[in-house]
Amino acid sequence: MEKRDVVILGGGPAGYRAAIRISQLGGKATLIDKDILGGTCINRGCIPVKALSRAAEMLDLTRMAKDYGVTCRDVEVDISKMISRKNIIVRTLVTGMRQTLSGLGIEFIEGTGKLISPTQIDVQLRDGSKKEMEARRIIIAGGSKWKNPLLPGGEKIITPTEAFEFKAIPKSMLIIGGGFVGTSIATVFSRMGTIVSLVEESPRILSEVDREIVSIFERELESQKVQIYTGAQVNRIEEKGENEKKVSITLKGKEANLTTQHVLMTEGRAADVDEMNLDRMGINLNEKGGIAVNKHMVTNLPTVLAAGDVTMGRMWTHVAYMEGIIAAENAMGKNSEIDYRSIPYGTNTLPEIAGIGLTEDEAVAKGDHVKIGRFPFASNGLATVLSQRTGMIKIITEGKYNQIIGVHIIGPRASDLIAEPALAMKLEITPGEISATLHLHPTLSEGFWEVARMIGGT
């Protein structure tokens, strides 16, 4: 049996970040992945949708170009080139990651690993051969996968994996799920001319996002002629004709029928642990079906840790990064803890949405005597230059110390802008301190300075 230091099962964001951190700490990491290095995020998730979102943004720019004295004639949408560009971006990132791992001396094995003891792994290599390894520590970072929808006609549903490989622009698309993925795909394809319907079970789309921000975003979706059905549930899907499906939904207690070319499922994922032999090992699962871990990312077996989507916690890549790093540090003998208090979120929609901390509704419910400041991008110099004046930056503070407890943004480059408030909240910086810090002009970031001055009283 071959000896290893730390073996990581899964080469997605949590896995490869764990491997890099182990190497930085002087350890020797072995990374095993059954699929493609980079996991869902790089290959079938946030990077592909961001690449397509960039293409849709380019389309917006051509439409605005005449306002700047630039005439764009014969503008065409070539989805095959969009997909090709997306694939180039993915390959570039995967190649770069391979080079990084190789440069750090990290062993990468293509195969499927399963536990045969708390310190031993059986690996089925892609060439059909097998290896058995014994490791001091094992980190499970197998990620998540799409669940099969349990409804009549569910086999007719596609996932984002298929949507990111379309050969032609769909005429129409019904998206099940109005969360981060569903809304991002809706904004991309609606700009290409696809008739998009968005079906969400909750009373509103983006239920985790500040209500005021969502209301602005809904108006943008409506301007793109996206039909939004909230409080709705899909009952069944039937073939109606060539390239056409009839979808039965329950809406406000009544049944309604919608017709569409494609039905896309964007919600419903499960931990990808089927082949890892967890039951036999006695590894505990949580109520969501993910691997149960403590704040050190350690399972009920002291030699086995887990990180990323496989825990079914906050299923965002940046969270997986940090969980992988924490797991790696503890595998190397440190006593690191994960801190979930200040985790930003962001969408790949147009316009972008990002936020951190409590929403206005949550803050008011806590009774913190909140103060709220808003600064519209319509009053920002650079946003006006960019012709991207929709949206705002919103800060929520509590009454006692004027501490920032929530920041929510909708508008240009919101996902980049949220980094400053994330750091401010982490360091407990007040709006007054932010307003005393000069921000470059003209920039989008000075909108944060403006609203901090407004709410900080300076």
> Which pLDDT score is estimated for 109?
95
Run of H or E including 410: strand 404-411
Asked if the domains 2-146+270-331 and 154-267 are classified in one and the same CATH topology, the answer is: yes
| Among the four given CATH numbers 3.30.930.10, 3.50.50.60, 1.10.10.10, 3.30.360.10, the one describing domain 154-267 | 3.50.50.60
Pick the CATH number of 351-456 from 3.30.390.30, 3.30.70.141, 1.25.40.10, 3.40.710.10: 3.30.390.30
Rounded Cα gap, residues 337 and 357, in angstroms: 19
Class at the top of the CATH hierarchy for domain 2-146+270-331: alpha beta
Does residue 288 register a pLDDT over 80?
yes
Q: 81 Cβ partners below 8 Å, 6+ apart?
A: none
pLDDT of residue 294: 96
Catalytic residue among 262, 296, 408, 441: 441
The token duo for 119 is 């310190």
63-85, pLDDT tens digit by residue? 999 999 999 988 899 999 999 99
395 CB burial (10 A radius; 0-12, 13-18, 19+): buried
Q: Where are the domains of the chain?
A: 2-146+270-331, 154-267, 351-456
> What are the pLDDT digits (tens) for 168-180?
999 999 999 999 9
More confident residue, 243 or 344: 344
Quickly state the pLDDT bin for 128 (edges 50, 70, 90).
confident
| Known active-site residue 441 | yes
Whether 458 shows a pLDDT value over 60: the answer reads no
What CA–CA distance (Å, rounded) separates 378 from 387?
A: 9
pLDDT of residue 448: 96
For residues 359 and 373, give the distance between their C-alpha atoms in angstroms, rounded to a whole number: 13
